[in-house]
Structure 1
Amino acid sequence: MDIAKEVKKARRGSKSSFEKLIIAHKLLMYRVAKTILTNDEDCADAIQEAIINAYQKIDTLKEPAYFKSWLCRIVLNECYQLLRKKKNVINIGDLFEPQMTEQGYEEVEVEQMLSKLPEEQSQLLKLFHIEGMSILELAQIYEVPENTIKTRLRRAREKMRELWDVKEEGSSWINGKRK
């Protein structure tokens, strides 16, 4: 599928072209939403709102080649908006359900370490290393130069390395003795 061609058609009002674009990017939208929101239902809500906003604002997209990053930016904004709305709301189901999922120990450790990082650093590492987004795509999403993304990634990795070193030091001592 030629994305630029479909974007141009969608800008002219073609609903089927817009639908093709959304279908082609649905996994990406979910992955971006999942880096910010933990609940799948919240991800679905944010994606749904993002699709509506994208459809209404497709004519504001100046360069068809940037559709992917433009759409990701809309999804991110919707996720942040949803978080702001839910900031003081507690889900009763969360109070009674255990939070442990069927993940390997390594995945749980990585998630725990990422949760200790500042939100922006955690999100950036997830998008780059887990979701496989390029530095150029991240620069377009965050609306900053590529070198800024590289610097932020380097700092996030350094912080992650510090957390790992602290974790390793703590696990190597039992009752005051080295293992």
Structure 2
Amino acid sequence: MHDMELEVKGAQRGDREAFIRLFRRLEPELYRLAKSIVRRDEDIADAFQETTLKAYKSLATLQKPKYFKTWVIRILINECNQLLRNRVKTVAMAEVPEASRSAGYYEDSHKLDLHEALESLDESLRIVIHLFYFQDLPIKQISGVLDISEGAVRARLHRARGILADRVKHTREGKLSYETH
């Protein structure tokens, strides 16, 4: 991360190329995070564009370059939440993936079960799961990004894991239920 800190300091001094390199490095992670919150590609693009613009304009206000990634994640989450507040919540059937009935159906259906369970979580739980498992952020950083206590982060992780386990278990039981005599 020392390399990233040098890039941040360069960007703060006006090096546009350093800023571009920073965002290119973070882009895959930021994209996945935005997708987990807003889901639609056009909203992801809007959130990413606004995040880039806000980060660029206020980069000078970032006091500790080592927290650049956390700072950008917080901006992105705020932008995604703003987009969600501004749109009518509808889920088109085209956005729901269909399980393939191929030879790998059993494995595919389990992956789909978990994916569907994750997507059905309340947003506050989904974001914590995403930051912890997909962004590999420690609890302390998640606490800072979401502006909640570390205990609240742990509680949300615990609650989300329980809900995910229950939903996947019930879904599998429904698919695999059979009577034995």
TM-score normalized by the length of structure 2: 0.80
Q: For residue 165 of structure 1, report the CA deviation from its aligned partner.
A: 4.1
Deviation digits for residues 14-49 of structure 1 (CA, Å, limit 9, x no counterpart): 212211211111112111111112122321221011
The answer to whether the 8 A contact 2:99-2:109 is kept is no
Q: How has the CA–CA distance of structure 1 residues 102 and 15 changed in structure 2, closer, same or farther, with 3 Å as cutoff? A: farther
Unaligned residue ranges in structure 2 (runs of 5+):
101-107
State which drifts further: 115-124 or 75-84: 115-124
2:133 is the alignment partner of 1:129: yes
User: Is 1:58 paired with 2:59?
Assistant: yes
Match of 1:157 in 2: 161
Aligned match of 1:100: 97
Whole-Å separation in 1 of the counterparts to 2:42 and 2:142: 25
- Aligned match of 2:105: none
Displacement of 1:178 in angstroms is: 5.3
1:47 aligns with 2:48: yes
Distance apart, 1:84 and its partner CA: 1.8
Q: Which runs of 5+ in 1 are unaligned?
A: none
- C-alpha RMSD over aligned residues: 2.7
1:37–1:79 CA contact under 8 A, matched in 2: yes
Match of 1:111 in 2: 115
Q: Distance in 2 between matches of 1:26 and 1:134?
A: 20
Question: What are the residue-to-residue correspondences of 1:164-179 with 2, within 5 Å?
Answer: 164-171=168-175, 173-174=177-178, 177=179
SS in 2 for 1:46: helix
Cα deviation, residue 153, structure 1: 0.7
TM-score after normalising by structure 1:
0.80
**Cα deviation per residue 1:117-145 (whole Å; 9 max; x = unaligned)?**
22211222233224433323322211233
Query: Would the alpha carbon gap of residues 102 and 49 (structure 1) be closer, same or farther in structure 2, given more than 3 Å must change?
Result: farther
Q: How many residues align?
A: 173
